[in-house]
Each structure stands twice: as C-alpha cells, then as structure tokens.
Amino acid sequence: MQQKIIILDFGSQTTQLIGRRVRELNMYCEILPYNKFPADDPSVIGVILSGSPFSVYDEKAFRTDLAAIRGRYPVLGICYGAQFMSYMLGGSVEPANSREYGRAILEHVDGTDPLMNGVEPGSQVWMSHGDTITSLPEGFKIIASTDKVPVAAYRGADNEQLWGVQFHPEVYHSKCGTQILRNFVVDICGGKQDWSAASFIESTVAELRQQLGDDKVVLGLSGGVDSSVAAVLLNRAIGKNLTCIFVDHGMLRKDEFKNVLADYECLGLNVIGVDASEKFFSELAGVTDPEKKRKIIGRGFIEVFDEEAHKLTDVKWLGQGTIYPDCIESLSITGTTIKSHHNVGGLPEKMNLKLCEPLRLLFKDEVRAVGRELGMPEHLITRHPFPGPGLAVRILGDITPEKVHILQEADHIFIQGLRDHGLYDQVWQAGVILLPVQSVGVMGDERTYERAVALRAVTSTDAMTADWAHLPYDFLAEVSNKIINSVKGVNRVTYDISSKPPATIEWE
C-alpha cells in the first residue's frame, strides 16, 4: 500500500509548496481541505496542518477536529497550524508586537528532539505571521527560538507525537526546512520514500485497467505536456481502447500540427488529426473582440471534437490532462467544484461521458518526470505553455490566414533562435505578437509601410506572476534582423518589457 501524508489546507498560499516539498522527499501526499480529514484510511502515516490567512481567534477561522488526528498519527503544525493546536489545547496566541515577515535566525535549538535533529543554531528560517504563541499548553516544550519569537518550534507534552513550527519549513529560504520536513516525514512518521515516477506509472496503470476495464476512452490532445502525458499513460494502460483527437484550428505554430502529430504517432498513440482550420477562419472573420475570439474558438473546438467523437462507437470516458494545481486552486477551503482549465471543458456533460484524469494528483514537474519515464521525447516534455486559442490571441484585431502566416514565420524565427542559443529552457514562455499598426521604414531605396511585431518572453514559475526575460541584446538584434529581412510584411520589431502584474503574458 502506498503510504500517504495528509496536508490539511487552512488556506495558506504556501500549502501547495508543502505538498511539493514532501513529494520531493519521494513521499506521496495529498492536500485536503481542513475539514475533510479522511476517516479510517489505513495508508495515512502522518498529518501536516498548513498556515492560514486567519488568526486562530477570528470568528471565521478555520477549525478542524483535532480529536480525529491526535494520538492516531504524528502531527506537524506549520504557522497557523502550530498556533491552532497550541490555542485549542490551552495555550495562548496573541497579535505579535511587531509582525514578523522574512528571514529569522534560530538561536536556540533542542537538537535532541527528533524534529530538530541535524538543525544547527544559527540556521535561517522564513517567518510570515502577525500572531505569536505567547504561552504553550501545559507540559509542552519549546524546541527552538529566535531572538524575537521565543516559541519558534514546540513539542507536545510527555513526548506526544505532536509538533508545531512558527516558521515555514516549506519555503526555500528556510535553509533547514528540508531537514525538518525530512525528520518529520521519514524519521517520525516512518515514510519509506517510495514515491517515484516509476512507482506512480506502475500503480496508475494498474488502477486505470481496473477502473476502465474494456471501456473506450476519448481524449483531446493539444500538443501541450499535460494532455500528451495523460494520453501516453492511458495508452500504456488500455492501448487501442484509447482514441485521441488532435484538432488543428489553424492557429497553431508553424508546422506544429504536422510535427506533433508525427510525434504522437511515433509514441504509438491512436490519434485522429482533424484539420478544421477553414471552419475557424470563416467563423473568426472580422471578429476583433478578444473574448469573442476565445468563445468562437472554444465553442468550435467542442463542436469539432464532439463530431469526431460521435464517429466512434461505445465511448464511455473522456480522458483529460488535468493536473494537481488545477484541482487544488478550487478545492482549497471550499472543497467543492474542481474547475476545468481545459479546452474541452463542458464536454463531459454534453457528451454524457465520465471523466478520467490520471494526472490529477501530480504537480507539473512530476508530470514531466512521468513523461520522461514513459520514454517521451524531451522536446514534447519541455515545451513552453501555449494558449488554447493559439495565435488568435496574439493577433491583435481581426484574424486572416495571411496574418496567421506572417505571425507563424516571425514566431518560428524567434523560437528557433531561442533554441539555437540555448535560451529556450531559460524562459517560461515566448512568442511573437502581431500588432494592428503599420509604420514607415526604408528597405534598400524604397520606403516601406508595413506591420510591427512585438517579441514577448517571460520568466515565471506558475504564470500567475511573470517578469520579462532579460534576453541578451545581441540575441534580440539577431532575431529582429532575421524577422525583418525574411518575413514579408514586417518592417519593425519591438520587445515587450512589461511584467505581470500589471500586464499579462498574452496581449489579449
């Protein structure tokens, strides 16, 4: 049985990070809303309580039933989690005299406590709290302090398997954070560290076979990492009972439809490639409003997918490449609906299909590791994110096949240039935007009056925030020259130096 650490989410922004750090220790974990602790799950070996935007004494503060956890599993409370346990068990928590955010140094450390094993005094930790524990429940013991926070870490009374840390061990700036999480997960909870891409594939393939039996599954491929890995995994489990549909809406990158289709075929996938570009071009003709463009493409995609899927017989399931962060965002706190970020959102109801989401418990870097383990080519795995509506949201104003062609050529030069200069993997995402302006230029002896494009490249970790990539000037100059000299219709290249926020990554 796969051992499991449960992380109860009280709404902190770093809850997902706790999950990632535990997974980095090769331990499987699940993040659940604070009030959804699973009763009688024999695979649970320990529980972590996350931070929270609330104070423990707020009326609206999230509370969990500690009796369901205490004494049954080792528990580690982080920030609010630590304050909550202390408060509920008779200690006091008060607003701190000075709120503490950022670096702090552990001055006193009880190295004999198993949680603090190997943590040296002088270790840097990361604090982010407005409240502080001013007195602990009876018998509880301080096991670490900073100069400002006497109770930086504590242990329950009579060596109970209960710990709290005021700082955030999951944050990379907490230098001893990994050691503390390892001490908890491995030494205290007895984690076997048996979670790996290979073990995930083995158990998921077995579960999928059990879940799906001889049922048929249809899956929409986008060329992106998530849907591709989901398809290859499903293919391993059920082979020809999986049919994939890859729709070309005419707004993909240069040669992408052809190349990605060839990749999919090499991987042994049963793929139907549908060139629906004419339908999309005619529906988009004359439309300039960004949201209308998105809606037309989203609806058109569903229509094409639905029509193709109906040609198949007996399909019962819709496969999707939903990943963990997609689920947690909406699961967090309310524990209700999981929002679909995928282009086929709305399809399961329309087609009366059941959903199969084999990657729903994986973080993005784990999806990539699984893809590698499944033998997928590196260029499919490290591919930049690309918006579902494709180049349509990178052509400002109305869309014509001619504009798409110009943009595909310019985009190809930029992306190939990034690859040739070893810069592709250093940026999160890059592309070119075709601007709705013309400007005067001179080429040879001729005056020109042609289009301007903007290059966009950003660094990011999750696309929620992003900075413009500080690409070398010489590289930008080379790309600009190449585009102006070889893409007919473009005589000016600019570089977008806006961060998100306040700008967004895409221009539309």
- Between residues 3 and 322, which has the closer beta carbon with respect to ligand XMP? 322
Strand 162-165 relative to strand 153-155: parallel, antiparallel, unpaired?
antiparallel
Q: What is the smallest separation between the CB atom of 487 and ligand XMP, expressed in angstroms?
A: 22
Q: Which of 170, 357, 366, 508 is catalytic?
A: 170
Rg (CA), the chain: 26
Whether residue 168 lies in the annotated active site: yes
Q: What is the smallest separation between the CB atom of 446 and ligand XMP, expressed in angstroms?
A: 37
Q: Which of 29, 79, 244, 327 is catalytic?
A: 79
Q: Which candidate, 407, 434, 413, places its Cα nearest to that of 476?
A: 413
d(CA 76, CA 29): 14
Whether residue 170 lies in the annotated active site: yes
d(CA 206, CA 186): 27
Q: Following CA atoms 291, 293, 299, 305 in sequence, which dihedral angle do they give, to the nearest 10 degrees? A: -130
CA 346 to the chain's CA centroid: 21
Q: What is the smallest separation between the CB atom of 277 and ligand XMP, expressed in angstroms?
A: 18
Cα dihedral 193, 199, 201, 205 sign: negative
Cα dihedral 404, 406, 409, 413 sign: negative
Whether residue 378 lies in the annotated active site: no
- Between residues 481 and 504, which has the closer beta carbon with respect to ligand XMP? 504
Which residue number has the CB closest to ligand XMP? 388
- Between residues 102 and 501, which has the closer beta carbon with respect to ligand XMP? 501
By CB neighbour count within 10 A (0-12 exposed, 13-18 middle, 19+ buried), where does 493 fall?
Answer: buried
Residue 391 vs residues 238, 343, 431, 483, 503: alpha-carbon distances, Å: 34, 15, 9, 17, 18
The three-state DSSP-derived secondary structure of 173-216 is: CCCCHHHHHHHHHHHHCCCCCCCCHHHHHHHHHHHHHHHHCCCE
- Between residues 86 and 340, which has the closer beta carbon with respect to ligand XMP? 340
- Between residues 371 and 389, which has the closer beta carbon with respect to ligand XMP? 389
- Between residues 3 and 227, which has the closer beta carbon with respect to ligand XMP? 227
Q: What is the smallest separation between the CB atom of 466 and ligand XMP, expressed in angstroms?
A: 7
Q: What is the smallest separation between the CB atom of 333 and ligand XMP, expressed in angstroms?
A: 23
Interface residues with ligand XMP (CB under 6 A) are 294, 385, 387-389, 429, 463, 500, 504-506
Q: Which of 29, 30, 129, 168 is catalytic?
A: 168
Strand 354-356 relative to strand 92-105: parallel, antiparallel, unpaired?
unpaired
Q: What is the smallest separation between the CB atom of 149 and ligand XMP, expressed in angstroms?
A: 37
Which residues are part of the catalytic machinery?
79, 168, 170
